[in-house]
Amino acid sequence: MEVILRENDAADWVYRGEGAANLVLSYIGSSPLFIGKVMRIRKAPRSDVVTVRSPSALTAHERLLWKDVDELISSSDKEIAGRLFVQHVMKPLLGSKFVDAGMHVLVSTEFLESVEKDIICQRPPWRVDNAQVDTQCDSVLLMSDHSVFSHGLGGGAEDTNFGIAKAFEDVLKSFIQANDGLCTESLLTLVAEALTKSGVLNQLLEVQKLDNVDIEGAIHAYYDITSQQCMVCRELGEEQAKKYTSLHSASLNESLRVVRDYLIAATAKDCSLMMCFRPRKDGGSGSEHNTVYLESTKQTFDFKADNSSHEPFGSVSVGRLVPA
**Interaction site with Zn ion (CB under 5 A):** 220, 230, 232-233, 244
Minimal distance in Å, beta carbon 270 to Zn ion?
Answer: 25
C-alpha 308/C-alpha 146 separation (Å) is 10
The CA-atom distances, in angstroms, between 74 and each of 42, 59, 91 are 21, 11, 19
Minimal distance in Å, beta carbon 65 to Zn ion?
Answer: 18
The answer to whether 39 touches 25, Cβ cutoff 8 Å, is yes
Minimal distance in Å, beta carbon 230 to Zn ion?
Answer: 3
Is 93 or 258 the residue whose CB approaches Zn ion more closely?
Answer: 258
131-133 and 103-107 beta bridge pairing: unpaired
Is 93 or 230 the residue whose CB approaches Zn ion more closely?
Answer: 230
37-45 and 131-133 beta bridge pairing: antiparallel
Q: Which residue is nearest to Zn ion (CB)?
A: 230
The 3 state secondary structure assigned to 198-247 is HCHHHHHHHHHCCCCCHHHHHHHHHHHHCCCCCHHHHHHCHHHHHHHHHH
Query: Which residues fall within 8 angstroms of residue 1, CB to CB, at 6 or more apart?
Result: none
Is the Cα dihedral 205, 206, 209, 210 positive or negative?
negative
Is 200 or 233 the residue whose CB approaches Zn ion more closely?
Answer: 233
Minimal distance in Å, beta carbon 110 to Zn ion?
Answer: 52
Is 79 or 224 the residue whose CB approaches Zn ion more closely?
Answer: 224
Minimal distance in Å, beta carbon 254 to Zn ion?
Answer: 14
Q: Please tell me what DSSP assigns to residue 52.
A: P
Is the Cα dihedral 198, 202, 207, 208 positive or negative?
positive
Minimal distance in Å, beta carbon 256 to Zn ion?
Answer: 16
Minimal distance in Å, beta carbon 60 to Zn ion?
Answer: 21
Is 35 or 252 the residue whose CB approaches Zn ion more closely?
Answer: 252
Identity of the residue numbered 251: S
C-alpha 60/C-alpha 58 separation (Å) is 7
Is 195 or 232 the residue whose CB approaches Zn ion more closely?
Answer: 232
C-alpha 217/C-alpha 211 separation (Å) is 10
Identity of the residue numbered 138: D
Is 81 or 259 the residue whose CB approaches Zn ion more closely?
Answer: 259
Is 83 or 220 the residue whose CB approaches Zn ion more closely?
Answer: 220
Query: Which residues fall within 8 angstroms of residue 229, CB to CB, at 6 or more apart?
Result: 223
Minimal distance in Å, beta carbon 250 to Zn ion?
Answer: 11
The 3 state secondary structure assigned to 66-109 is CCCCHHHHCCCCHHHHHHHHHHHHHHHHHCHHHECCCEEEEECH
Minimal distance in Å, beta carbon 241 to Zn ion?
Answer: 6
Note the Cα 56 to chain centre separation in Å. Answer: 23
Is 81 or 233 the residue whose CB approaches Zn ion more closely?
Answer: 233
